[in-house]
Amino acid sequence: MRVIVTLTALTLALSATPAAADPALRLPAPTGGQPVGTTTLYLKDTSRPDPWVPSVPYRELMVSLYYPAARSNGPTARYMTPTESRLLLEDGGLTDLLPPDLLSTVRTSAVRDARPAGRPGGLPLVVLSPGHSKPRATLTSLAEDLASHGHVVAVVDHTYENVAQTFPDGRVTTCLTCEMAKDETVWIELGRGRAADVSFVLDRLTGPRPAWRGARLVDRSRIVMGGHSVGGASSIPALLADPRLTAGFDIDGSTDDVIPEGGLSKPFLFLGRAGQYTPGSGAPAATWERSWAGMTGWKRWLLVDGAEHVSFTDVGLLMDRLGLDYGAGIAAGRAQTITRTYVRAFLDRHLRGDPRPLLDGPSPRYPEVTFPTNG
């Protein structure tokens, strides 16, 4: 069983209208020392039909890349288009409360098409997959932060699995999978389809004909996948299927796919809500328990007290800024700090060999984070 949280369900305590929005809505600044650049890739996989529209004989993907840049000045990237903003807000039933194009005005930190910086083969690659129905833009804050600490980050939109995705020719696809009845089989199909998407993205970033001019900077021996909700859960089938992936992390996503006999030996991090993933608390936690039992390598299970599903993404940050109550017992900025900090620590430990004792037990700096079980 999986709990699907929509924006409508999160506006629990709205009285009349939200608090006045900051006229310059912006994401929190990256915490690393390197300027961040970003570019967008359109990719077409002609080796397979689209899994949701079989009449389309190829799979189209949009990917946002974030990376250390040679300069910090220049126009920053648009968060999302007005159409994407409208459709995302409509999905949450918020267009009567907010201007439909509001999310297109959110300010980001990454400089659009800035020249990449780094030595050849020196930058680890992190692939991020967003939650079901959510555009890739909702992981921008995490992606920008990781890039500022020396990672290349590829955030993948999985076509027909989010409320709005814009292609270079102006087409906008919507969420066909949102209309499907959800059972465990469908969630497994979603996860395995995303694993195939990620493998194709890796082909285009690390193969002989790379789709990005900065591809030579990527260290092909240090590649990780993670994400939010089903995007995080999808990292398990991806790690099982693609030997290029060396580690993975799941942020608040129930894991429906079963790890086969022999186990998963690659390092793995679970980070989620205490209210949903405390061991023994119910069906979502049981999916993690099943996956945990099949993991034979380094692993951690971390919970954040007071967090809600969107606390780990830009959705929580923006709702908090707009005065929309989504039921969290932790401030959105604090939850984002925790998400960034623990994901970075995981990557530092397994991509750079840094010990990162933060991952070994509770820290007085982050009392909200508990370790219900350990590796």
**pLDDT, tens only, 83-139:** 999 999 999 889 888 999 999 999 999 999 999 999 999 999 999 999 999 999 999
Percent of the residues in the chain that have a pLDDT greater than 70, as a whole number: 93
Burial 126-159 (b: 16+ CB within 10 A, else e): bbbbbbbbbbbbbbbbbbbbbbbbbbbbbbbbbb
* Residue 290 domain flag: yes
* Residue 71 domain flag: yes
Mean pLDDT in residue range 216-226: 98
pLDDT band at 140 (very low <50, low <70, confident <90, very high): very high
pLDDT of residue 71: 86
Mean pLDDT in residue range 28-37: 97
CB 41 within 8 A of CB 63: yes
Q: How many CA atoms lie within 13 A of 260 on its CB side?
A: 4
186 C-beta neighbours (distance < 10 Å), count: 14
* Residue 2 domain flag: no
* Residue 42 domain flag: yes
Q: How many domains does the chain have?
A: 1
Task: Kindly tell me if the per-residue pLDDT of 1 is higher than 80.
Answer: no
pTM, 2 dp: 0.94
CB 203 within 8 A of CB 174: no
40-98 tens-digit pLDDT: 999 999 999 999 999 999 999 999 999 999 988 999 999 999 999 999 999 988 988 89
Task: Kindly tell me if the per-residue pLDDT of 270 is higher than 50.
Answer: yes
Sign of CA dihedral 133, 78, 198, 227: negative
* Residue 44 domain flag: yes
* Residue 1 domain flag: no
Task: Kindly tell me if the per-residue pLDDT of 227 is higher than 50.
Answer: yes
pLDDT of residue 185: 87
Cα-based angle 230, 236, 242 (whole degrees, multiple of 5): 120
pLDDT of residue 375: 66
Cα-based angle 5, 11, 16 (whole degrees, multiple of 5): 165
Percent of the residues in the chain that have a pLDDT greater than 90, as a whole number: 88
* Residue 306 domain flag: yes
Q: Give the residue numbers spanning the domain of 189.
A: 7-374
Least confident of 4-13, 136-145, 169-178, 201-210: 4-13
What DSSP string runs through 332-366?
HHHHHHHHHHHHHHHHHHHHS----GGGGS--TT-
* Residue 118 domain flag: yes
Specify the CATH number for the domain of residue 228.
3.40.50.1820
Quote the mean pLDDT of the chain.
92
CB 230 within 8 A of CB 210: no
Task: Kindly tell me if the per-residue pLDDT of 6 is higher than 50.
Answer: no
Q: Is 220 helix (H, G, I), strand (E, B) or coil?
A: strand
